[in-house]
Structure 1
Amino acid sequence: MAKQERSERTLEKLIVAAAEQFALHGFVKATLGGVSRAAGVTKGALFFHFPTKDDLADAVQKRGQDVLEAMLTDLASAEKPCLQVLVDAVHTLGAMLRSDPFIKAGVRIARERTAGSPAPTDFYPLWLGRLGKLLETARKEGELAADVPDLSARTLVTAVVCGVETLAWMGVSEDESRQWLGCLWELVLPVVASPDALPRVRTTAPTGASVARERAVRH
């Protein structure tokens, strides 16, 4: 049992160190030697758990996926419109792109992997797919404007996410990015939301208890 526990601790050290290295240096420039040094374990231990850099990247992206799923589950647990969950999720993503090494690493891995590399947990299709599911539910709940095609709604949300990510990589402060995103939602929501749903959706970042829950998810 003690040997298994040591193995699990080593595995966790490696995944955390890999996320930090990928987030800092990117998928291409990060090295397995750098990961083993950052984790404080031997290269032999690293290769035992992760024979290739792709294997290590998959583990980091899977952990990032778990973080995002937990965040969405937390946001959806409150009784609020689907469009509000979507708005809050993108606001929270903007913060996580600056604070969570697994999210930062996941994006860099997705950007930098070559076209032929395996990517079973690629950040972009997973994240945009989950937001697309929220839009589908919003449609069923009558929260989307009847004259707005589903593809148009998904296109607008995709553009918003890309803008948030770009601001993070440009080094724009979280406060400025949050303000930018709130203004953008003010422009976008009247286009996609139904007249009944629009007054019930806040465009600004979640505050108070919501922020506390989101921080708990990130840490």
Structure 2
Amino acid sequence: MAKQQRAIRTRRLILDSAATMIERNGYTATSIDGISTTAGTTKGAVYFHFPSKGDIAAALFDEAHDSLRAIATRARGPEASPLQSLIDTTHLLVRQFNGDPVTRACIQLCLERHSPAPQARAYRLTWASTVRLLLESAAARREFREGVSAHAVAALVMSMGAGAELLAGREGRMLRPHMTTAMWRVILPGLVTPKHAATLHPEGSPGIQLADPSPQAH
């Protein structure tokens, strides 16, 4: 049992070290030597758990995928407005991005040309599917103004999210809750009627609202 627990701890150290290095240096510049040194273990231990650097990236994406699915499930209450669920999902993703180096590493991997393409593509597709399903549900419940296309809104949300990730990755800064709130305050009036907008929380539902520092603090 003690040996198994050590193996679990070592695997965790390797993944956390790899995530930190990929976030900081990128996938191509991250080496097995660097990961083992940062983790305080041997190259042999790294190869015991992960035959290649690609296998490490795949394991990171597996964790990020699990987190994304959990976030989507948490934000989708049985009586919740699908549009509010999407707003809440974006806020929870910001929290995840800020608090989890694995998520940040996977975003970096998605941005890199030489990252493991199948895993990066699968992660993107999961997020795109989450957005699309929520917006199609919102359209079915007639939450949008007349003439608003769920497909067009999905493209907008995906584009804004990708742009925010790109800026955060290139400039080495965190995504901020107030930025997500501001985004929704800008676009909601074009999506829904004033009456419906009054029922929505661009800052996130009360149960998932984040500490939202003033923009001046950054």
Normalised by the length of structure 1, the TM-score is 0.81
CA RMSD of aligned residues (A): 2.5
Note the C-alpha offset of 1:161: 1.1
Instruction: Assess, with a 3 A threshold, how the Cα gap between structure 1 residues 88 and 31 changes in structure 2: closer, same or farther.
Output: same
Whole-angstrom distance in 1 between the partners of 2:22 and 2:179: 27
Q: Secondary structure in 2 aligned to 1:200?
A: coil
Q: Tell me which amino acid in the other structure corresponds to 1:210.
A: I
Aligned to 1:199: 198
Whole-angstrom distance in 2 between the partners of 1:179 and 1:188: 14
Note the C-alpha offset of 1:111: 1.4
**Higher RCO, 1 vs 2 (CA within 8 Å, ≥6 residues apart):** 1
Matches within 5 A, 1:26-41: 26-41=26-41
Instruction: Assess, with a 3 A threshold, how the Cα gap between structure 1 residues 171 and 10 changes in structure 2: closer, same or farther.
Output: closer
Whole-angstrom distance in 2 between the partners of 1:66 and 1:31: 25
Aligned to 1:217: none
Note the C-alpha offset of 1:118: 4.2
Whole-angstrom distance in 1 between the partners of 2:142 and 2:195: 8
Instruction: Assess, with a 3 A threshold, how the Cα gap between structure 1 residues 140 and 12 changes in structure 2: closer, same or farther.
Output: same
Note the C-alpha offset of 1:181: 3.0
Q: Secondary structure in 2 aligned to 1:15?
A: helix
Matches within 5 A, 1:126-145: 126-145=126-145
Aligned to 2:185: 186
Whole-angstrom distance in 2 between the partners of 1:199 and 1:12: 45
Which has the higher mean CA deviation after the structures are superposed, 158-167 or 28-37?
158-167
Aligned to 2:215: none
Matches within 5 A, 1:1-219: 1-77=1-77, 79-114=79-114, 117-122=116-121, 123-169=123-169, 170-171=171-172, 174=175, 177-193=176-192, 197-206=196-205, 209-211=207-209
Q: Tell me which amino acid in the other structure corresponds to 1:186.
A: R
Normalised by the length of structure 2, the TM-score is 0.81
Instruction: Assess, with a 3 A threshold, how the Cα gap between structure 1 residues 78 and 23 changes in structure 2: closer, same or farther.
Output: farther
Whole-angstrom distance in 2 between the partners of 1:173 and 1:2: 38
Instruction: Assess, with a 3 A threshold, how the Cα gap between structure 1 residues 118 and 179 changes in structure 2: closer, same or farther.
Output: closer
Which has the higher mean CA deviation after the structures are superposed, 40-49 or 76-85?
76-85
Structure 1: tracts of 5 or more residues without a match: 213-219
Instruction: Assess, with a 3 A threshold, how the Cα gap between structure 1 residues 99 and 5 changes in structure 2: closer, same or farther.
Output: closer
Whole-angstrom distance in 2 between the partners of 1:163 and 1:202: 23
Q: Secondary structure in 1 aligned to 2:118?
A: coil
Q: Tell me which amino acid in the other structure corresponds to 1:37.
A: T
Whole-angstrom distance in 2 between the partners of 1:33 and 1:173: 28
Whole-angstrom distance in 2 between the partners of 1:82 and 1:65: 21
Which has the higher mean CA deviation after the structures are superposed, 56-65 or 117-126?
117-126
The percent identity for this pair of structures is 29
Note the C-alpha offset of 1:47: 0.7
Whole-angstrom distance in 1 between the partners of 2:181 and 2:172: 18
Whole-angstrom distance in 2 between the partners of 1:107 and 1:172: 13
Aligned to 2:216: none
Cα-to-partner distance string for 1:37-84 (whole Å, 9 max, x where unaligned): 222221111111111111100101111111222222222247421111
